[in-house]
Amino acid sequence: MSISDYELIEAWKKVLKLSRLEAGQNVTILTSAATHPQTLACALIATQAMGAVVNRLDLPPVNGEKAFSRDSLSYLGTTPLTGNRSAIAALKESDLVLDLMTLLFSPEQHDILTSGTKILLAVEPPEVLARLVPTEEDRTRVLSAASKIGCAREMRVHSQAGTSLVCPLGEFGPTAEYGFVDEPGRWDHWPSGFALTYPNDRTTHGTIVIDRGDILLPQKRYVSDPIQLTVENGYATRIEGGVDAALLRDYMETFGDPEGYAISHIGWGLQSRARWSTLGLYDREATIGMDARAFEGNFLFSLGPNNEGGGTRTTTCHIDIPLRACTVELDGKPVVKEGRVIPTLNDKS
């Protein structure tokens, strides 16, 4: 169901206040052909109402002839900022960039962040943004989980479906996504709500079973036939199963890049207002599936690059896969038990 401009403007104001936007600061709204017009219009009003100096930078789309999906996360090649020095300079001069285009996993984004500019990605439909406005409690809970990850040296994941995965940790730090940018040089995604890290390169091993009802992204489909991944030395070396496995294998083969099979980020969802079932209510091109990525208690793992976490591996292939009913352990201590987050004293939910 659609929402009013008033509701979305109020949602923007809440997120901008959490992101510590102050009067007189420079905000650049980054857009492209796929930017939702209501999201843009309400962002313009909200930022101006809060006294910001507001610019809009609209850039043409790229990679359309290479990607096999219209999803903005389905192909991580060049971005509209690649080689665009004047645009990059403008963004570096901004206090805050509202990314309504998607710069994720790009060197240009890293470059902009190092200047102290904050970047907030917001590309979900307006009603999803309004339903999943982040809170201070989200931040507290996600930071608590990220702290646990940062202290751990091993993550183990297992499930009754057959997952049994060992992920050595320590090479890369944790990442906390709670939906707003309250520090210089911070990137985040509205909506979100999960903690993650990247395992030590080329060390993850075991078996991952993507069970019935688990989700493939960017395919944005619920698996109906279990898929078994064999993971050796940090890479998925076999993808076995029925039709769903064949579809996944065929999609990954289109990239022609062995790095696309590497285990990328690993972590778990912490957003109690996100729902596993929401993806089934949307047309595939209407959402990028943040409910699926963030719903509480999932084990979210990815295949593809690790440069977002500080690694050197880049690839145009990026697949996110949230699993249900998994147990996640850090150094032998469970933090998620069969799909339910184990609360701690620092958590607020």
Beta strand 205-210 with 194-197 is unpaired
Provide φ and ψ at 205, rounded to 5°. Answer: -150, 155
Tokens linked to 101: 């285009």
pLDDT (tens digit per residue) in 224-279: 999 999 999 999 999 999 999 999 999 999 999 999 999 999 999 999 999 999 99
Could you list the beta-strand ranges (E) of 85-234.
96-99, 118-121, 154-159, 164-168, 175-177, 187-189, 194-197, 205-210, 215-216, 221-222, 227-232
* 330 within some domain: yes
User: Do 58 and 81 share a structural domain?
Assistant: yes
* 349 within some domain: no
Domain C-terminal end among 85, 108, 131: 131
Average pLDDT on 11-34 reads: 97
User: Do 230 and 125 share a structural domain?
Assistant: no
* 206 within some domain: yes
Is 50 exceeded by the pLDDT of residue 20?
Answer: yes
Beta strand 326-330 with 333-337 is antiparallel
When divided into structural domains, the chain yields a total of 2
pLDDT (tens digit per residue) in 291-300: 999 999 999 9
pLDDT (tens digit per residue) in 135-189: 999 999 999 999 999 999 999 999 999 999 999 999 999 999 999 999 999 999 9
pTM, 2 dp? 0.95
User: Do 145 and 110 share a structural domain?
Assistant: no
* 66 within some domain: yes
User: Do 250 and 152 share a structural domain?
Assistant: yes
Tokens linked to 162: 């057959």
User: Do 181 and 96 share a structural domain?
Assistant: no
Burial class from Cβ neighbours inside 10 Å (0-12, 13-18, 19+) for residue 94 reads buried
Q: What range does the domain containing 177 cover?
A: 136-341
* 346 within some domain: no
Tell me if 207 sits within 8 A of 165, measured CB to CB.
yes
User: Do 316 and 185 share a structural domain?
Assistant: yes
* 347 within some domain: no
